[in-house]
A and B are shown apart, each in its own frame.
Chain A
Amino acid sequence: MKTYSLFVLILLAFNFYSFAQTENKGYKVNDEAIDFSLKNIDGKMVSLKDYKDAKGIILIFTCNHCPFSKAYEDRIIALHHMYAAKGFPVVAINSNDAIAYPEDSYENMMERAADKHFPFAYLHDETQEYAKLYGAVKTPHVFILKKVKDQFKVAYIGAIDDNSNEPELVKKKYAENALNALLAGHEVKPNFTKAVGCSIKWKS
């Protein structure tokens, strides 16, 4: 009996532990996305409200150093080229701690954006406030926002597609499907996907 109750106690303790860990994990689909003011690679501050004519935003938490982010760079640029004119421009945000990953510093962001000719804003979330608010945990991590009146609502959270390393073998274009559904006024399905990526390195 004694060992049994100890076992239950341990189970309870673990349940509580995992519960505490999963609390407050950022946005879910249909949540209202908060606006921000973050420094772009050209030195200017950028906010969601600056995108007056947009139907929405393809917000992507990404960075310089992560092999997954690198593997998706060209596809992120292509997304912008495909959807900006239709009202959904890409806005990229780097929230990584530059002390842990010097490659992700603001200076290196400028350099990377120049090398790759990023056609979209690449913002520096130096305090990591917005990665935490949105619930971005890895890179790349996509949040497609849809403009409803003057607010931005989260319409899709997750991966860009189903194959990071071999773009030629992609079968499910999750982000494109979501965007096409939004443009056609259809329900986004799936509106949430998971992917492995580099964890965003939090400041200690």
Chain B
Amino acid sequence: MKSVEILFVCFILIFCSVQSNAQKKVDIVKFDWYKNIRASQNDTTYVINFWATWCMPCLHELPEFEKLTEAYKNKKVKVILVSLDFYKKLNITVIPYLEKTRIQAEVVLLNEPDYNAWIDKVDKKWEGSIPATVIFNNQKNFYHFMENETTFTELEKLINSIK
């Protein structure tokens, strides 16, 4: 009986550790987070994609960013997926989706419901639809904004154009 109990406890422990390993960490951030990253003075090329789990074209596009994350993991390229989901949906919708699809890229959830207050601060051209992507390298004076679905090939082309 006792050994069965020990086995059970072991099983629970293993199960919990596996669970915690799989738990994707997603910080809830405010717009200052973006402002700081956008101002960072280093030689990293940031690829920042605005998406949400309710946005079908965004989900369709996520594998392209995953491919980029994998292909450039040893280079000075940082892919960050900025979820615009409702912050109360983080544990209900966002994290389960990220775990199911095994997303490797860094993910944050931007909780700023008054979109009108910050959309123009990302880019005046942005009309508010997603997916939208900002690519920049401040040291190389590179900046590019796009308000449409993109591909790995297009992203790679942009990154390779940075001289």
Are B130 and A196 in contact (CB-based, < 8 A)?
A: yes
Q: Number of A residues contacting the other chain (C-beta, 8 Å)?
A: 37
Number of interface residues of B (CB under 8 A): 27
The answer to whether B163 touches A3, judged by C-beta atoms less than 8 angstroms apart, is: yes
- CB pair B116–A199 under 8 Å, yes or no, is no
Given known pairs A66-B54, A162-B116, A166-B113, the reply for A7 and B163 (CB within 8 Å) is yes
**Using a Cβ cutoff of 8 Å, how many contacts connect chains A and B?**
76
Q: Is A6 within 8 A of B163, CB to CB?
A: yes
Task: Select one of B119, B120, B125 contacting A196, CB under 8 A.
Answer: B119
By a CB distance below 8 angstroms, the chain B residues around A25 are 127
Contact of A194 with B126 in the complex, beta carbons under 8 Å: yes
Closest CB of chain A to B115's CB: distance in Å? 4
Please state if A172 and B113 are interface contacts (CB–CB under 8 Å): no
A198 at the interface (CB under 8 A from B): yes
> Could you tell me if B88 and A165 are in contact, using CB atoms closer than 8 angstroms?
yes
CA distance A138 to B52 in the complex (A): 14
Give the chain A neighbours of B56 by CB distance below 8 A. Answer: 100-101, 201
A174 touches B113 (CB 8 A): no
- Which A residues are in CB contact (< 8 Å) with B128? 137-138, 194-197
Cβ of B21 under 8 Å from chain A = no
Bound CA span A189–B94, Å: 36
Contacts of B86 in A (CB 8 A): 165
B12 within 8 A of A: no
A residues whose Cβ falls under 8 Å from a Cβ of B? 3, 6-7, 10, 14, 18, 21-22, 25, 66-68, 100-101, 137-138, 158-159, 162-166, 169, 171-172, 174, 190, 193-201
Contacts from B to A (Cβ < 8 Å): 50, 52, 54-57, 84, 86, 88, 113-117, 119-120, 125-130, 144-145, 147, 161, 163
